[in-house]
Structure 1
Amino acid sequence: MASHWVGTWAATPAPADGVALASPTIRMFPRISIGGDTIRLRLSNAAGTADLVIASTHVARRAPGPAIDPTTDRVVTFNGSVTAKIPAGAFVVSDPVSLAVAPLDDLAISLYIPNDLPASFGVTGRYSRQFAYLSPPGDFTGHEVMHASRVVDDWYFLCGIDVMAGEEVGGIVALGDSLTDGNISSYDMFCRWPDQLARRLVARGGRMFGVMNQGLGGNRILHDIRGDCGVKRFDRDVLAQPGVTHAIVVLGINDIRNRRGLAEEAVTAEELIAGLGQMARRARDRGIRIFGGTLTPFENETFLRGAYTPEGEAKRNAVNDWIRTSGAFHAVIDFDEGLRDPDHWPRMLPIYDNGDHLHPSDLGYNRMGDLIDLSLFD
């Protein structure tokens, strides 16, 4: 039977501002969406200013704390070598690894960085809402219980995990900002809406889909901030993802908020619509079904005081009206309608609000995952 690679997990490569590393082993614990008998890893040096050397990489199934199940420990190679040298701005794909993994398994990825990396190097990382571990200097990739000197909450250098799957298996990319990345959700509770979508797809059975979370805190459609803007990263983070068949785009609220307050970064609703339209067109050209997620309420947010304005609310409503009515997307996922207070639409319903009036609570994030009609993937 024919088979192909499908992304079962992803993290957007972006700058981990100000991070320095002292030759550590990094052990991270991604939860995959679909399983298989053969996997591979993708590692990124997207933010680096020089070559990145990774001297040893291991993958295993997770055990409690910083530990692994040693019976599942596998050495990962790159073109037959245990060492990977990644040029600045580039990424590498590992050789296939024979390891049976099940849907929703927790894996342990251990990377040994043999050189000190100062903050000026440009470490690639993205906050994870999960705990990971850094060791003292040294290679502990093969240790069952890794020596840990620090607990961190970033995905360092790891940008993807793929499984070899049957040709009928598809891939869903979630492209968004902090609301897709799950900012301020509870650590190690897997409350991000793509997590909930993955759980529901596994529980449903039938045709399987890998779910790849390409949320990036602060991300905008039209201007860079902590990584590339949406129209710039769309090819890398959506079109180039292994096995992608569907995409869900939820971007625009940070363009409206204009966090840096720069006049040259102020945008109109028409400009946001044009950017979203470009994404929809590029997906359709590649045969990818793309769904538009409406922008959620943020009246009187406190995460960035003063970011909410009546003018911004008017832009949000105009963009949402276009998403709902233009036909640019194959379908609409109405996150706005699902989270808003029915008695006051500009405001998030309090039970779905984490308290800053911008980011959902754990319940709110799971609600977003529940709003997605699974028949869209039939």
Structure 2
Amino acid sequence: MTTWTAAYRSAMVSPFESMTLVHGPRGFADQTVRQVVRVRGEGERLRVRFSNLYGARPLVVGRVVAGGAAVTFGGGARVTVGVGEEAVSDPFAFPLKGEADLTVSAYLPEETGPATYHPFALRTTWIAPGDGDAPGGEESESGFFLSGVDVAAEAGRPVVAAFGDSLTDGVGTTPGADRRYPDVLARLVPAASVVNLGIAGNRLVSDEFGERGVARFAREVPAVPGVTHAVVQVGLNDIGMPVVFDVPPVTFDELTAGYRAIAGTAARHGITAVVATVTPFGGAQPPGVDLAAEEALRRRLNAWLRANEAGFAAVADLDAALRDPADPSALRPDHDSGDHLHPDDAGAEAMAETVARALGI
């Protein structure tokens, strides 16, 4: 028996947030947006999803081509996605075995207003005038509107939702090379499909840089078709972001309550959830800033996470995998992308190996 399972996900961000890491809001009119995404799973048919979750007006999609096929929605080429809604296409043929690149071109004939988007796609998006799906045009590092791809797969295949911040999103890894830790994890556990729900800057208990993790997990993860497992890697920005941005600090009790809430959501939905310890970020602060209080909070929180008082299925000790033995407050030099915050390709591999052991799939 076949069932729809997630083959790709992109966590969406509002263009109306007051803080941004890359650029301000942008919209489209009489333009084609061409994106290439990595899909994973086993099946013969796909369907694509377009999100207008944070739009201020209905999103009109005039034509979609995916994998060389003309894609329809309810039998028609054109679809209007209401404010706060998502449109799911009709199935189209695309034999998938393991993983493959899928090119999706969407013609947007009318003014979209500021676009629901994903800031760090680590893949190039092409934006061209008019209606056409050929390469070329303006380039962007963000993804727009395309929130997911599903595959009609045999029932029973595990689906892992990698949920987190920029370390899950892949910041620090090689762009265009699919070296994010969820990409590596997918190759380590080929019996499962792995989808990436990371957002750079995301926090556990505060909004901006995406909806707060507690609420976002409850909304996004149980809605992933076929989801069986989740990896929760979030909390670093709650501790470290007040050092860089004008945002209030958080307390240990606020953080632990957030993790308990996520563990509870996972349990209610029958999702096997693994929690990750918070990785080091010593050296990433602005010059002259003392991180003693933040480091003390990180170590206290990690001790609590290792004891698994929130009741997750398992703990992935990413702190132990990435910290410098000579300075446990900092990343290992051979796993540091150079900003002392984000792991490089080798660091992402270490993360994936640690998570794979915790998942036990």
TM-score band (shorter)? over 0.9
Contact 1:36 1:164 in 2 (8 A): yes
Aligned with 2:334: secondary structure? helix
Task: Determine whether 1:47 maps to 2:47.
Answer: no
Task: Determine whether 1:78 maps to 2:73.
Answer: yes
For residues 19-51 of structure 1, give each alpha carbon's deviation from its aligned partner in whole angstroms, at most 9, with x where no partner exists.
232421111111112231011111101221110
- Give the aligned residue type for 2:316: I
Which residue in the other structure is 1:282 paired with?
Answer: 265
Which residue in the other structure is 1:64 paired with?
Answer: none
For residues 43-99 of structure 1, give each alpha carbon's deviation from its aligned partner in whole angstroms, at most 9, with x where no partner exists.
101221110011111111xxxxxxxxxxxx211111222112111121111111122
TM-score by length of 2: 0.92
1:345 positional shift: 0.9
User: Among the aligned pairs, what percent are the same residue?
Assistant: 34
Which runs of at least 4 in structure 1 moved beyond 2 Å after TM superposition?
Answer: 15-18, 20-23, 121-126, 258-263, 304-308, 372-378
Which residue in the other structure is 2:84 paired with?
Answer: 89
The alignment's C-alpha RMSD in Å is 1.8
Alignment of 1:319-330 (within 5 A): 319-327=301-309, 328-330=311-313
TM-score by length of 1: 0.88
Contact 2:32 2:107 in 1 (8 A): yes
Task: Determine whether 1:171 maps to 2:159.
Answer: yes
Alignment equivalent of 2:95, drawn from 95, 100, 103? 100
- Give the aligned residue type for 2:270: G
Aligned with 1:212: secondary structure? strand
Which residue in the other structure is 1:295 paired with?
Answer: 278
**C-alpha separation in 2, matches of 1:115 and 1:292:** 43
Aligned with 2:265: secondary structure? helix
Aligned with 1:329: secondary structure? coil
Question: Closer, same or farther in 2 for the Cα pair 1:134/1:340, shift >3 Å?
Answer: same
Aligned with 1:159: secondary structure? strand
**C-alpha separation in 1, matches of 2:116 and 2:288:** 32
1:306 positional shift: 6.5
Alignment of 1:305-320 (within 5 A): 309-320=291-302
Which residue in the other structure is 1:199 paired with?
Answer: 187
Which residue in the other structure is 1:9 paired with?
Answer: 8
Aligned with 2:44: secondary structure? strand
**C-alpha separation in 2, matches of 1:318 and 1:375:** 21
Alignment of 1:323-362 (within 5 A): 323-327=305-309, 328-362=311-345
Which residue in the other structure is 1:66 paired with?
Answer: none
Which residue in the other structure is 1:161 paired with?
Answer: 149
Question: Closer, same or farther in 2 for the Cα pair 1:307/1:12, shift >3 Å?
Answer: farther
Which residue in the other structure is 1:58 paired with?
Answer: 65
1:242 positional shift: 0.5
For residues 290-319 of structure 1, give each alpha carbon's deviation from its aligned partner in whole angstroms, at most 9, with x where no partner exists.
0001110001215x5567611111111121
Alignment equivalent of 1:20, drawn from 18, 23, 27? 27
* Equivalenced residues, count: 351
Aligned with 1:190: secondary structure? coil
Question: Closer, same or farther in 2 for the Cα pair 1:231/1:192, shift >3 Å?
Answer: same
Which residue in the other structure is 1:70 paired with?
Answer: none
Contact 2:72 2:89 in 1 (8 A): yes
Aligned with 1:105: secondary structure? strand
Gaps of 5+ in 1: 61-72, 203-207
Which residue in the other structure is 2:21 paired with?
Answer: none
Contact 1:250 1:294 in 2 (8 A): yes
Task: Determine whether 1:112 maps to 2:94.
Answer: no
- Give the aligned residue type for 2:69: R
Contact 1:127 1:155 in 2 (8 A): yes
Question: Closer, same or farther in 2 for the Cα pair 1:87/1:308, shift >3 Å?
Answer: farther
1:147 positional shift: 4.9
Which residue in the other structure is 1:140 paired with?
Answer: 132
Gaps of 5+ in 2: 16-23
**C-alpha separation in 2, matches of 1:102 and 1:376:** 22
